[in-house]
Amino acid sequence: MSILVNADSRIIVQGFTGSEGRFHSEQMIAYGSRIVGGVTPGKEGTRQLDRPVFNTVDEAVKATAADVSAVFVPPPFAADAIMEAAESGIRVIVAITEGIPVSDMVRVKQYLRDRPARLIGPNCPGIISAGKTKVGIMPGFVFKPGRVGVVSKSGTLTYEAADQVVRSGYGISTAIGIGGDPVIGTTTRGALALFMDDGETDCVVVIGEIGGQLEADAARWYGQNPKKPVVAFIAGQTAPKGRTMGHAGAIVGGAADTARAKMEIMAENGIHVVASPADIGKRVAEILG
């Protein structure tokens, strides 16, 4: 099986006819992703990339049986787009949009709480099951099929970690970019739990960063559920307190938010922590032998 998406996933793109939506849809199709249509209000009845365009997600789902959505909707409208997808029965919602207001995402989190939809992102590169499908903006050529999972807050470091794993003689089962905003859908712990139960994943790489408690929560959970080895790197080891570094959520507010504190908690819970991203592939190879 795959984590969340696979070759059979039926994908729609919200914001399909916008420049970002069109460009990345082309890349997804080229990778082999099964895009079955798109949504742009007012464009119903037209076609793009030889796929139908619908006014609403509900219409798209009824016509195509889509179960995954990629959201490329501008920030002011993205929260409504996510909730519309959930209301229409989409199983996995991948929100690529950057700059969604935190207040909007608080509303989205509350809305999704009692619904079966899983949100990835926002402000994320998406998800890729290597050799099967990708939903988002990840460069597909980096991700060769294998049995190492990746969960990351950083898009760039996701690609770097995957490349190192591949160069070390292994490959990627699924990589999830969870996003670095203060309020996101799937957390580090949530993604790690999925990998622990995945029959096609033997080891997991976790890329975290300063700010928040997602990595510490995941580490403590893993300490009670160490089914597979985990290699981790935390970015921002030299970041000053009180300054946002890169992502909106990457800010040290207290001692527990620092890279050093997170690294110590991870190590205490049995995770193989590396000090440099350059060591990720080598450590994976040492573990898997």
Listed by start position, the domains of the chain span: 11-120, 139-288
Which residues in the chain show pLDDT less than 70? 1, 238-256
DSSP string over 89-152? T-SEEEE--S---HHHHHHHHHHHTTSS-EEE-SSS-EEEETTTEEEES--GGG--EEEEEEEE
* Contact predicate 196/227, CB 8 Å: yes
Give the pLDDT score at 239: 54
Give the pLDDT score at 152: 96
- Which tens digit of pLDDT belongs to each residue from 138-162? 999 999 999 999 999 988 999 999 9
Active site residue 24: no
Give the pLDDT score at 258: 83
Distance CA 127, CA 178 (A): 8
What percent of the chain shows pLDDT beyond 90? 87
Give the pLDDT score at 259: 85
Give the pLDDT score at 238: 57
Distance CA 167, CA 159 (A): 12
**Fold: same for 11-120 and 139-288:** yes
Name the fold adopted by 139-288.
Rossmann fold (3.40.50)
**Number of DSSP helices (H) and strands (E) in the chain, helices first:** 9, 14
Give the pLDDT score at 244: 55
* Contact predicate 182/212, CB 8 Å: yes
* Contact predicate 64/101, CB 8 Å: no
Which of 10, 132, 247, 283 is flagged as catalytic? 247
Give the pLDDT score at 249: 47
* Contact predicate 53/40, CB 8 Å: yes
Give the pLDDT score at 192: 98
CATH numeric code, 11-120: 3.40.50.720
* Contact predicate 14/138, CB 8 Å: no
